Structure 1
Amino acid sequence: MELRIYSDAVVTSDGQFSAEIVVRDGLIVAVDGGAGPSRGAFDWSGDVVVPGLVDIHTDNLEKHYQPRPGALWDAYGAALAHDGQCAAAGITTVLDSLSLHGRKEGLDRKTALGPMIGGMDQAQADGALRAEHLLHLRCEVTNPELLSLLEPHADNPRLKLLSVMDHTPGQRQTSDIGALQARMVAAGRNEAEIDEMIARRHAGRDPGVAHDNRRSVVAFAREYGVPLCAHDDATLEQVEEAHADGCVIAEFPVTLAAAKAARGYGMAICMGGPNFVRGSSHSGNLSARECAQNDVLDILASDYVPLSMLRSAFMLIDDFGWAPEKAMATVAAGPARSLGLTDRGEIASGQRADLVRVSRRSGGWPVPVEVWRQGLRVA
């Protein structure tokens, strides 16, 4: 089946211009510059056409599996709800980032891991999903049970990314314990609860376990050929360790010095879309906008707000003066290439026909009005 789509604002790796996109059997076969649509083509003039977004880090599935504290939802239904929200935001490839440690808002991530992965596996096998869902496992190195949680998923074909992290208070993202305590107070925790949580996390941290687990995750990534990213690096020493371990992505570095050092080692710098849109990190660390200002921003992930990716990309164009092709690369080609995915992320011949028709609305908001994956409309 052949499909033709014309717009006076198609964003390719060469820039934004008038063009007609020719799609055949789910692939882009030509991008022809021109002054108007050919006969029978969809005319999307007035709207911007961008590649389908590629999200390498989102916690959004957890929100749908546990929509309220203590209230678990059906795993298959959670997969469908999460998927619909991603597709509506223009995300056509999403890596569900699931933590192998701890609790969040009462959710026991250890017991939730299997059902969430299983529900998504089944929904994808059924052809029930709009976006393609891949898997990003977040390896908390302080967890003594880490390897027993990771190894069962070694052969899951959706596994495309691993990250190493340490969320012990006083480390990396939470190096400022005072700021952590203030956030917990704002969340309604009292002083006794905060002290108990911090003491519990410190009591469970064994430096030997953390070291051995990190070495095991690095070996696992090499054995199975899964890309590895460092998470929340703050110091040059931590960046050097990440480089030695073969990390290809520096995910959410917490200082500008760490981001610059990681870029110097060839790592792609990934920041959160909500951080960029809000103008600051919710944890008081490095601002994604500061990365953009210093030209050390390669990837924007949704983190916890799917719509933040497209909004951030257009803010880079409108407010930071980035060329459209450079801005859109942070949410499409950049994340795709960091994972070794060469078949998506650009509007170009030979690429998957993952396309988003974007209408600009009040306040500059980019609204996805049509989303297509492999030549089929999904939203």
Structure 2
Amino acid sequence: MNTGVSERRVEHWTLGSPPTDYVLGHVRAVLVDRIVEDALVAVRGGVIAAVEPHPPGLAADVDGQGLLCVPGLVDVHSDGLEKERLPRPGAELPLEFALLSFEGKLRAAAVTTVFHGAGFEESHGRGLARSVAGAEQVCAAVAAARAEGLVDHRILYRLDVRCPEGLAGLRRQLASETGTGPTAAPGPRPALVSHEDHTPGQGQYADRAYYERYLVGTRGMSGQEAAQHVDELIEDRNGRLDVREEALAWLAGRAYAGRIRLLGHDPSSADEIDELVSRGGAVAEFPTTVTAARAARERGLPVVMGAPNVLRGGSHNGNASGRDLVAAGLVTALASDYLPSGLLAAAFALANDAVVDLPAAIRLVTAGAAEVAALPDRGRLAPGLRADLALIAAGPRWPVVRSVLRASDATGRQEPLATGAAPA
């Protein structure tokens, strides 16, 4: 087979990033609304120059051999790094190694842009405790990884609104990121911030019984001990409502100033969606009810659901089914939550089960997710966008990632966050 490239050039592709200029031929190009059969994708300067039918007899640098070509996946909420750091209780790995190891899983899942969750909170229990110090370490490690990583590593700043230490820590973190590096697009990028409140009895654990069962299963408590612990937790957190109000007011100010792009985590009602919009919120993340999801779409907000929820066919907490919300047209994006491979698998499951067609399913993990993150330069196979591409074998049921071609960093330079040096 004549691919038009030398052995040395092929080796370069295997060991690192593709060249800035190349032609990928004979692929099934998945656009936002259709599939172009036997397509050609031309890349110039790391940017897509053309997506069109492949003319007979025209040589390409790489023969896609009929594989599906999709944009690189965008994962807007990933807690997988936590699991990578602690693969077994008591066996915590160095953060930098865990990030490198996790990058391999992201690449294998066709993820080219990922937002790692950094939890600004103080929580303890079985597993890796979340702390402000830990969140700061993750931010530093991800910033370092962006310079040389094979994936575009970014941060989803997660704030527990009833945690005063978390609020102080996030203030410091955003104020410290002055964004002095080169930028690939005019103006700075607002930081992606999700606010959450996991107090049992509302939000994710609206039915506290699910949280009690979680404590029994993960911490070895008896049913009575779990119920007592939840009572104490609710009482303690109800004493921090003033912190919650301060946090929400501060977030609203940052959102309206364009410093952050605000996500509301686990909204459960139309009233909560209205409150999110009133404080400048831009995205509904993991709504727990159909009512909240519908209200978000009626207010024009993107809606993110978890890919594992879609794969399982329902929530593990008794909340809304992601699959049902997709079928109702109420979901615009999927996030991995904790399972990178779940993104593509969930998309194909939706298409295979005729919940939506394949272009619409792929849109949930590409263009829809890019919209959530306000990254208009990626997520679609369209001229002028980043050439972050993945070649996929559909398989009889589950997809298999055959190759990932991420655009050269000549076109993907790190842009500054919109935090500046303004007072926090």
The alignment's TM-score, normalised by the length of structure 2, stands at: 0.83
Q: CA deviation at 1:222?
A: 3.3
User: Aligned pair 1:109/2:140, yes or no?
Assistant: no
Structure 2: give runs of 5+ residues left out of the alignment.
1-19, 180-188, 410-424
Q: CA deviation at 1:201?
A: 2.3
2:317: which partner in 1?
A: 283
Which structure's residues are more often strand, by fraction? 1
CA contact (8 A) 1:142 1:204 kept: no
1:208-227 mapped onto 2 (5 Å cutoff)? 208-223=242-257, 225-227=259-261
Change (3 A) 1:352 1:262: same
CA deviation string 1:268-288 (max 9, x = no partner): 110000000011111111110
1:295 pairs with one of 321, 329, 339: 329
- Comparing 26-35 with 179-188, greater Cα deviation is found at 179-188
RMSD of aligned alpha carbons: 2.0
Q: CA deviation at 1:39?
A: 1.2
Q: Does the residue aligned with 1:282 lie in a helix, a strand or coil? A: coil
1:1-379 mapped onto 2 (5 Å cutoff)? 1-18=20-37, 19-34=39-54, 36=56, 38-101=58-121, 102-103=123-124, 105-110=126-131, 111-125=133-147, 127=148, 129-154=149-174, 155-156=176-177, 157=179, 160-187=191-218, 189-191=220-222, 193-195=225-227, 197-205=229-237, 206-223=240-257, 225-362=259-396, 364-374=397-407
Q: Does the residue aligned with 1:109 lie in a helix, a strand or coil? A: coil
Q: CA deviation at 1:104?
A: 5.3
Change (3 A) 1:54 1:36: farther
CA contact (8 A) 1:7 1:49 kept: no
Q: Does the residue aligned with 1:86 lie in a helix, a strand or coil? A: helix
- Comparing 280-289 with 116-125, greater Cα deviation is found at 116-125
CA deviation string 1:129-177 (max 9, x = no partner): 1110111111111102122110222153587311111100111111101
CA distance in 1, matches of 2:402, 2:27: 16
Change (3 A) 1:51 1:13: same
CA contact (8 A) 1:299 1:335 kept: yes
CA distance in 2, matches of 1:193, 1:100: 27
Q: CA deviation at 1:375?
A: 5.3
CA distance in 1, matches of 2:323, 2:192: 25
Q: CA deviation at 1:199?
A: 3.7
Identity %: 33
The letter of the residue matching 1:177 is R
The letter of the residue matching 1:76 is E
CA deviation string 1:243-294 (max 9, x = no partner): 1112111101010011001110011110000000011111111110110121
CA contact (8 A) 1:65 1:116 kept: no
Change (3 A) 1:282 1:308: same
CA contact (8 A) 1:52 1:371 kept: yes
CA contact (8 A) 2:36 2:52 kept: no
CA contact (8 A) 1:162 1:226 kept: yes
CA contact (8 A) 1:184 1:194 kept: yes
CA distance in 1, matches of 2:381, 2:250: 39
CA contact (8 A) 1:252 1:271 kept: yes
Q: Does the residue aligned with 2:257 lie in a helix, a strand or coil? A: helix
Change (3 A) 1:41 1:294: same
Q: Does the residue aligned with 1:357 lie in a helix, a strand or coil? A: strand
CA contact (8 A) 2:29 2:35 kept: yes
Q: CA deviation at 1:36?
A: 4.9
CA contact (8 A) 2:33 2:359 kept: yes
CA distance in 1, matches of 2:353, 2:363: 17
Change (3 A) 1:258 1:299: same
Q: CA deviation at 1:208?
A: 1.8
Change (3 A) 1:258 1:37: farther
Q: CA deviation at 1:347?
A: 0.7
Structure 1: give runs of 5+ residues left out of the alignment.
none
Q: Does the residue aligned with 1:163 lie in a helix, a strand or coil? A: strand
Change (3 A) 1:261 1:69: same
Change (3 A) 1:294 1:175: same
